[in-house]
Each structure stands twice: as C-alpha cells, then as structure tokens.
Amino acid sequence: MPPPPPLLFGARVRVSLADDADAGDLLEFHRRNLDRLKRWMPPVPETFLTPDYWARWVTAAQWLYDKEQAMRLIVRHGTAADAPLIAQANFSNIVKGPFQACLLGYHVDGGAEGRGLMREALQLGIRFVFEEIRLHRIMANYIPGNDRSARLLERLGFEREGYARDYLFIDGAWRDHVLTALTNPAQTAPVADRDLHTARAPLAMARIARRIARPRQ
C-alpha cells in the first residue's frame, strides 16, 4: 500500500496530489501555456483543452496513486489550497521490486519560470518519493536545447547517464533525448513483494495435472 497522498509545503509553494478541485485550474494552466510547451510535449488528444479531459485526468490521479503506478502532483504558488496553480509534476511509470524507479516529467507556467519555484517544488516531491515511497532511482530526460530543464535537473543533482536517439515523438518528429537520473542517497533496499505468480502456482499446477490425467477422447 502507498503512503497517504502527499501534501507538501515549501517556503513559497504547496505541492499536492491532483484531485477533483484542481481540474479547472489545470485546464486554465494548459490553455495559457500549451503554445509555449508543445514543442517539448508528445502529441495531445483533440479533447486536451476541455473540462472533460481534465476531470478524467484528476480522477485517474487518485487511482494511479493507489495502484502505485504514478504520482500526479500540482504545484501552487503559496500555501493556500486556492493559490495560483503554476506547475505540474508527474512521477510516472513507477516500477517496484529490484528496480524501484520512476520517470519524472514536469511543466511550469511561463510567468513562474526563472524564480526557483519549480526547483523548490521538485525538491519536495523528490524527498517524498525517496523517503515515503522508498524508490531508489528517478529518471528524467530532456530534448537537447531545452536548456532550462538541463539547468534545473543539474541543480537538483541529476546526473547525465546517456543519450537516446529518436527517443520520443515530440512536436511532429522523433526527438533525441539526454538521459539523466538521481539515486536515493539512503540506498534503501526494496521490500520483497509477494510473488503473485508463485502464489498462484499451486492452482495452475492442479489444473495442468487434471488436464494431463484426463483420458484422451
């Protein structure tokens, strides 16, 4: 089971798991920023800038968190629940077991860039992922030329680990990406999960045995 959903406070930001109350602000955030951000984003559906899309997105956020598959965070400038929404950060593709890793992606409002707010918010999110979810590795990749992301990740301690050609389809073409990662300094060992395949093995073996024992017609 995951820990209780995050509600994190910094000196200037409030970071929380997206919920129903955030859908309208997320829609307005992307209406303001889509033209600026789309050169760094995969293709979006035609319904992207509709209330229905973001209502479904925030509903899925709780389900994905409960299933330990993703953590969709929203960032507000200020500590109040209705403070302006300035960013979102997604810790997605969570994999447990010996890997204990996830992917980090984020978008920040144009008016909030260059003020250290995203760095403050991501520091809170990263600490939660390492200390509460107990992941070992966070991976974050960016397109060459996205200098803001490169600088932000470097300041957060991410290290360059490789270069992937034609990694993702972004803004009409397959784009190369720089691959970076940050590892948990606590070096926590993964908690062994129950092996579901092994747990089901006796039932599967019984079915196979009955099939073998059944006389051929």
Q: Please tell me the distance from the alpha carbon of residue 49 to that of residue 177, in angstroms, as a whole number.
A: 27
CB 23 within 8 A of CB 54: yes
φ/ψ of residue 81, rounded to 5? -65, -25
In a domain, 201, yes or no: no
> pTM of this prediction?
0.86
> Is the sign of the CA dihedral 169, 38, 116, 6 positive or negative?
negative
pLDDT value at 109 more than 90: yes
In a domain, 200, yes or no: no
**Confidence class for position 189, pLDDT limits 50, 70, 90:** confident
In a domain, 121, yes or no: yes
CB 129 within 8 A of CB 120: no
Q: Which tops the pLDDT comparison, 139 or 199?
A: 139
pLDDT value at 9 more than 50: yes
Q: Which tops the pLDDT comparison, 201 or 127?
A: 127
In a domain, 81, yes or no: yes
In a domain, 108, yes or no: yes
What domain range includes position 27?
A: 7-188
C-alpha 96: how far from chain center: 14
Number of structural domains the chain divides into: 1
Lowest-pLDDT choice from 3-17, 84-98, 189-203 = 189-203
CATH number of 137's domain: 3.40.630.30
In a domain, 69, yes or no: yes
pLDDT value at 21 more than 50: yes
In a domain, 170, yes or no: yes
> Under 8 Å CB-to-CB from 12, ≥6 apart: which residues?
77, 78, 117, 120
- Please give the pLDDT value at position 190: 78
- Please give the pLDDT value at position 147: 95
Half-sphere exposure in the Cβ direction for 211 (13 Å, CA): 6
Based on C-alpha coordinates, what's the Rg of the chain? 21
